[in-house]
Structure 1
Amino acid sequence: MCKVLLLSHGNLARELLATSQMIYGEVDGIDCISLLSGTDLAHYEEEILSKVQQSPEGILVLVDIFGGTPFITASRIYNQNQGKIDMAVVTGMNLPMVLEAMDSLQNMSVSELKESVIKCGAEGIIDLDERV
C-alpha cells in the first residue's frame, strides 16, 4: 500500500487531515507535516525525508502551493530519490483531493492515485452559477 503525505504552510495540512478524518474516518497510511513559523528548515526536510524513506511501496505528497517552501523541500527530496522510491508530488491540495487519497490509497499505485487525486481536486472546484 502506498502512503500519502500532506505538506503545507501553517496548520493547513493538519486541519485538512483532521477534517477529512471527520468526514471519512481514520485511515492508515496518511500523515501530515506542517511548516510553522520559526521551524528549522533542515529539521523540516529531515522529517519529510524520514516519512518518504518509511514508504517502500511509494508515497504521494500533496502540497498546498507551487513554489513555496513545502513544495521546494518536497521537490528536492523527489529529485534526490528518483529511481529509489516511487514518489509523486502534487500541489494545489484541497479537501476533495485528500478525501480521494483516503478512499483510494489502499487500491492504487502512486501514479494511479496521483491521477485520481488531481482529477478529484479539479472536479471539486464548482461555480454555482454554472450549475444552476
Structure 2
Amino acid sequence: MIGILVVTHGDFGKQLIKSAELILGSQSHYETLGLFHGDNIDQFGERILEKIKSLDDGDGVLAFIDLYGGSPFNAITLNFKKLTAKHKLQCITGVNLPMILEAFSSRQFCQIEELKKCCLDVGKKGIKDITEQLNSIEMDVKTN
C-alpha cells in the first residue's frame, strides 16, 4: 500500500488527517510531521527521511507538503538525494482536504504516479469561487 506522509508547519497535517478520518473512518499507513518554532531544520529533515523509509513498503510514499518553498518543503526536497533507488517518493505541495481524501480512498488501486495525478486534479478542482459559482447557477436559471 502506498504510504502517506503529510509534512506541514505546526499541527496542520495532523488536523487534516483527523478531518479525513472523520469523513472516511480510521486510516493506517500514514504519518504526519509538523515543524514548530524553535525546531532544528536538520533534525526535522532526518525525521522526514526516517518516516519515508518506514512508510515505503515497496509501493512508495506520497508526501503532501503545505507550502511550496517553505521550510517543510526545503527539508523534504533535500532528502531526495539521500534516498536509494528502491524508495519511490512523490511530493505535492499545497495540500488540502480533498487531496488527502483522494489519497486515502484510491491508494489501494493506483500506482504512485497515477495517485499523485489524481490527488493533484482533485485538489485543484476543489478550489472554487463560491460567489462565481452561485452567480453562474442564477444565470442558468434565468436563461432556462
The DSSP-based 3-state class of the residue aligned with 2:5 is strand
Map 1:50-129; keep pairs closer than 5 Å.
50-54=50-54, 55-57=56-58, 58-81=60-83, 83-129=85-131
For 1:42-94, what per-residue CA distance to the aligned partner results, in whole angstroms no more than 9, with x for missing partners? Answer: 22112111111121320000000000111011111123326331111110001
Runs of 4+ in 1 over 4 A off after TM superposition: none
- Number of residue pairs the alignment of both structures matches: 132
Q: Is the contact between residue 3 and residue 61 of structure 2 (CA under 8 Å) also seen in structure 1?
A: yes
Q: Which amino acid aligns with 2:4?
A: V
Q: Name 1:16's counterpart in structure 2.
A: 16
Choose between structure 1 and 2 for higher RCO, CA contacts under 8 A separated by at least 6 residues: 1
TM-score using structure 1 length: 0.93
Question: Structure 1 stretches of 5 or more lacking a match?
Answer: none
TM-score using structure 2 length: 0.85
Q: Which amino acid aligns with 1:53?
A: K
Q: What's the C-alpha RMSD, in Å, of the aligned pairs?
A: 1.3
Q: Which amino acid aligns with 1:56?
A: D
Q: Is the contact between residue 7 and residue 70 of structure 1 (CA under 8 Å) also seen in structure 2?
A: yes
Question: Structure 2 stretches of 5 or more lacking a match?
Answer: 135-144
Q: Which amino acid aligns with 2:20?
A: S
